[in-house]
Structure 1
């Protein structure tokens, strides 16, 4: 059921293995497994927990030293776990599509990789309350000279739009009636950035998280990111949200985690933690964005 869920597949939404230590030396082996029983209580007694990441910015990735893991999901997860009495976090890097299988095989006890909530994944694992939402945004030249805010703007003004090949925004553009001749597909985010920065494209469409991240890494580029929004495609709002992932049956762990995650959101502390990774107020989940809603969509 979980095979083939690559990051690019999750972006469609179709309308290097190893151990990394977050606190202290690496302690995981490829064949390591966690114990059965009450996951939360076991982790609290041990003072440490094993988590899975996909080594992907800005969610969960290794830092410049190649050992320390960081990212929005990692840092938010660390803050919640610390509040639960778990001070050390050991991260195992696996392919994105191996995260849920690894979780269920007890190689680690939760996933901190910014994974989107969807119906298929909800059948294989339990998701926390939404950690963040991922609205679409546009990368545009500084000052947004063409006033691009929606896909309709691109269509009506006959603008050239850059998209990531195979990503959901390519489908959004097509379903919004933008002719294929106006759409340019690129294989990487940096290529999309360069297309807009050099004027080969008037705008680029992707999640605001990814665009904010790539802009932060290219401060000399004369571009900016528009306000995020959820396009209405085929009469439906294209709502996307990411969360932490747990094994089925770990209800006590999930409930305790959700309670502390809510405190981070309510206090504004979440935004302080997430902002360095390209997240802003547009990514704070609204009250009507629930895991139950997204699991049944």
Structure 2
């Protein structure tokens, strides 16, 4: 199976709107004890007994993808660490198209979605999310040397830079919210188009998540990525968090997962050691006050 190197669907389908840190509301994510397909979700005891957990991935690097017969990426790496600590040492992967991930989960085809899926109210109505595994700060891809010395959207506005944004992606709203006029924005269809536009000088910078841009930069010489920043709209920070997804009725497994997840995100060194190879670092660690319950009602 070939690797889909960049998150083409993610920018259209997984980004959240503005979210801020919120206190958890007990029971907000609780739902019926069975899946929509009427199949009971596997409990932790069953998973331990069988020794594996079935996970789904969408083949989108660097979130979850197959390479050389191995399941790699942020989500599988983190989930393997967590489930091993829970006494379930094996991940058994199933590939699914992005649009089919949650329907497949509801149908009982797998136990967990390991794809870096963003936490949104619409998805929370259909499944259980873990606490945030990461946030997706924004960054700018520029030519090597950063000729305009761009650091964030305010500097892009001040310099009069032409900024590339993905068609249908949330970054356009970030740019407009920062006061950049639509005349200074160029719409592109996919990440590689953004890199090509910067190389050719058609845009001064390409705006996307730092995670995606750093991955893109690996295969595009002559470009660099600025330090990530968290944009704001009307004073509200845009974190765009993602997490693991469980079937309804799997609260026990989700809660056990969250306990182990907390240990990792609370240990910056361990988090970076686990996920640094995929472009995740200290700037992608979720703030302590950012809770799934608040994201689900945003």
Aligned partner of 1:30 in structure 2 is none
Please state if 1:269 is matched with 2:266: no
Aligned CA distance change for structure 1 residues 215 and 88 (closer, same or farther; 3 Å): same
Aligned CA distance change for structure 1 residues 35 and 123 (closer, same or farther; 3 Å): closer
Structure 2 Cα separation of the partners of residues 91 and 39 of structure 1: 18
Structure 2 Cα separation of the partners of residues 150 and 37 of structure 1: 44
Q: Given the alignment, which residue of 198, 203, 206 partners 1:204?
A: 206
Structure 1 Cα separation of the partners of residues 41 and 79 of structure 2: 21
- Encode CA deviations 1:189-221: one digit per residue, 9 max, x unaligned: 112112213322111100010001111233xx1
Structure 2 Cα separation of the partners of residues 84 and 36 of structure 1: 20
Question: Which sections of structure 1, spanning at least 5 residues, go unmatched?
Answer: 1-5, 16-32
Aligned partner of 2:10 in structure 1 is 7
TM-score normalised over the length of structure 1 = 0.85
Structure 2 Cα separation of the partners of residues 284 and 162 of structure 1: 26
Aligned partner of 1:292 in structure 2 is 293
Aligned CA distance change for structure 1 residues 109 and 38 (closer, same or farther; 3 Å): closer
TM-score normalised over the length of structure 2 = 0.85
- Matched residue pairs, number? 271
Aligned CA distance change for structure 1 residues 37 and 209 (closer, same or farther; 3 Å): closer
Q: 1:35 Cα deviation (Å)?
A: 6.8
Q: Secondary structure at the match of 1:115?
A: strand
Structure 2 Cα separation of the partners of residues 165 and 68 of structure 1: 32
Of 68-77 and 233-242, more deviation after overlay is shown by 233-242
Structure 1 Cα separation of the partners of residues 15 and 177 of structure 2: 13
Q: Given the alignment, which residue of 86, 89, 92 partners 1:87?
A: 89
Q: 1:137 Cα deviation (Å)?
A: 0.8
Aligned partner of 1:28 in structure 2 is none
Structure with higher RCO (Cα < 8 A, 6+ apart): 2
Q: 1:12 Cα deviation (Å)?
A: 5.6
Structure 1 runs of 4+ off > 6 angstroms? none
